[in-house]
Amino acid sequence: MIIQLKKPLLTALVLAGAMQGASVAQTAVKPKPLVTDLFTADPSAHVFNGRIYIYPSHDIEANVPQDDEGGHFNMRDYHVYSMDKVGGPVIDHGVALDLKDIPWAGRQLWAPDAAYRNGTYFLYFPVKDKDDVFRIGVATSKSPTGPFKPQPKPIPGSYSIDPAVFTDQDGHSYMYFGGIWGGQLQRWHTGKYDAGLKTDLGKGHENEPALTAKVARMKDDMLTFDETPKNVEILDENGKPLLAKDNDRRFFEGAWMHRFGDKYYFSYSTGDTHFLAYAVGSSPYGPFTYKGIIMKPVSGWTTHHSIVEFQGKWYIFYHDVELSGKTHLRNIKVRMLTRGKDGSIQTIDPQ
Ligand code: FUB
């Protein structure tokens, strides 16, 4: 099915691009949802063979009450979308992977990502196993649009949510992952699973370094980790790790990595403070120094993004709840990303 983009999206992108000199990239006309017949969220965008492919979550109304663990995000499949240009028609390629086809899965297919190597496309997905523990799975296809065939088991040593796979110029690929609260990252802080930790580490830990995302280099098969996942260190301006109480800046979920020149940009959601933030380093492993906010809060509780270069311009894909007004029924959008001459990312105010 083809969804025609409305003209205002184009206008907004043009305006955002023209605001190079401003510190906050404002758009006079707001971007429209890219997809209007399904609810979509957590868009991971990639360029394969000169075309933009989007791998989002597919939100549904499952009538599960809202809670701090995200039980209301009870998704069951993924669709893949593509566009030949930003502002062009968005094509829905149908169901790419269904929960019922993943042998080890229990419930909640959350934010996916995709990668390509040696003629195979890989779809990475977090889902709770039959014990209600989030693991990360991988499925393969010869086409970027699937259908994807899942591996019989989760990636060994994987846990938590929101995989984002980045391939560097030297061909090495890395998975960034993790999310606190419903994403269960806090349950693994000792290395062993502790189901008692519902949100974060809780009282008494506020002045400790914040929990943070994990990174692991992928083996060449792209199906397994090549190492034990390491912490993604995010430092403040004094070179000290961000603290757990620093809710405006610390990592919560929704990691993404992109490279601009010789710098690595680690970006993420701050969760309960609803910012998309970024930190810059000189290696895919970091450490990364906190630099600022990419996007102020969108409508809805969650915020989640990806950043991609296409035909010499940079774009941010993200979601809000314009169509439904409900936190768990989101819609994906795209805007142009603008940078200062020093590579800094200009803050977008989406409201
Ligand atoms: O879509 C479910 C969860 O909401 C994602 O995994 C998080 O990043 C947040 O967007």
Q: What are 71-75's contacts with CB under 8 Å, separation 24+? A: 71/182, 72/327, 72/328, 73/108, 73/110, 73/182, 73/328, 74/107, 74/108, 75/108, 75/109, 75/110
For the CA of 126, the closest atom of ligand 1 is: 6
Judge whether 42 counts as a catalytic residue: yes
Average pLDDT over residues 238-263: 98
Average pLDDT on 143-171 reads 98
Q: How confident is the model at residue 122 (pLDDT cuts 50, 70, 90)?
A: very high
CA of 22 relative to ligand 1 center, distance in Å: 30
Answer yes or no: is 345 within a domain.
Answer: no
- The predicted structure's pLDDT at residue 200: 85
Q: Which atom of ligand 1 is nearest to the CA of 303?
A: 10
Per-residue confidence at 17, pLDDT binned at 50, 70, 90?
very low
59 Cβ below 6 A of ligand 1: no
> Rounded distance, CA 139 to CA 296, Å?
33
What pLDDT is recorded for position 309? Answer: 98
Residue 1 covered by a domain: no
Specify the residue with its C-alpha closest to ligand 1, atom 1. 110
Return the pLDDT at 16. Answer: 40
Buried b (16+ CB within 10 A) or exposed e, 244-263: bebbebbbbbbbbbbeeeee
- In this prediction, residue 24 carries a pLDDT of 46
Catalytic residue among 42, 113, 162, 322: 42
Percentage, residues of the chain above pLDDT 70: 92
- The confidence score (pLDDT) of residue 18 equals 32
Taking only the tens place, the pLDDT of each residue in 49-85 is 999 999 999 999 999 998 889 999 999 999 999 999 9
273 part of a folded domain: yes
Is residue 302 included in any domain, yes or no? yes
pLDDT given for residue 120 in this prediction: 98
Task: Give the pLDDT mean for 93-105.
Answer: 98
Average pLDDT of the chain is 92
In a domain, 349, yes or no: no
Query: At residue 15, does pLDDT exceed 50?
Result: no
Ligand 1 centroid to residue 254 C-alpha, Å: 7
**Is residue 342 situated within a structural domain?**
no
**Which tokens in the block code for residue 60?**
């549904």
Instruction: Look at residue 155 and tell me whether its pLDDT is greater than 60.
Output: yes
Mutation to probe ligand 1, out of 55, 302, 320 (largest number of atoms < 8 A from CB):
302
Which pLDDT value is given to residue 154? Answer: 98
Instruction: Give 301 Cα–ligand 1 centroid separation in angstroms.
Output: 10
Q: What percent of the chain has pLDDT over 90?
A: 87
| b/e burial code for range 280-301 (CB count within 10 A of at least 16 → b) | bbeebbbbbbbbebbbebbbbb
Torsion angle of the four alpha carbons 313, 9, 350, 56, in this order, in degrees rounded to the nearest 10:
-80
The pLDDT of 236-256, averaged and rounded, is 98
Domain count along the chain: 1
Q: CATH number, domain at 165?
A: 2.115.10.20
Probe residue for ligand 1, chosen from 253, 275, 306, 327 as the CB with the greatest number of ligand atoms within 8 Å: 253
From the CA of 335, how far away is ligand 1's center (Å)? Answer: 20
Measured from the CA of 330, which atom of ligand 1 is nearest?
Answer: 1
Residue 351 lies in a domain: no
238: left (phi over 0), alpha (psi -120 to 50) or beta: alpha
Residue 304 Cβ inside 6 Å of ligand 1? The answer reads: yes
Q: Which atom of ligand 1 is nearest to the CA of 162?
A: 6
| Rounded mean pLDDT, 29-53 | 96
- pLDDT tens for 169-222 read 999 999 999 999 999 999 999 999 999 988 888 889 999 999 999 999 999 999
Distance 302 CA to ligand 1 centre (A): 7
Contact predicate 290/235, CB 8 Å: yes
Best mutation site among 55, 58, 72, 73 for ligand 1 pocket (most ligand atoms within 8 Å of CB):
73
Query: Is 330's C-beta closer than 6 angstroms to any atom of ligand 1?
Result: no
Residue 153: per-residue pLDDT: 98
pLDDT level of residue 245 (50, 70, 90 thresholds): very high
Whether residue 350 is predicted with pLDDT greater than 70 in this model: the reply is: yes
Residue nearest to atom 9 of ligand 1 (CA): 302
The answer, yes or no, to whether residue 32 has pLDDT greater than 70, is yes
Q: Which of 315, 335, 285 is nearest to 46 (CA)?
A: 315
Q: 186 is in which domain, residue-wise? A: 7-336
User: Is the residue at 346 inside a domain?
Assistant: no
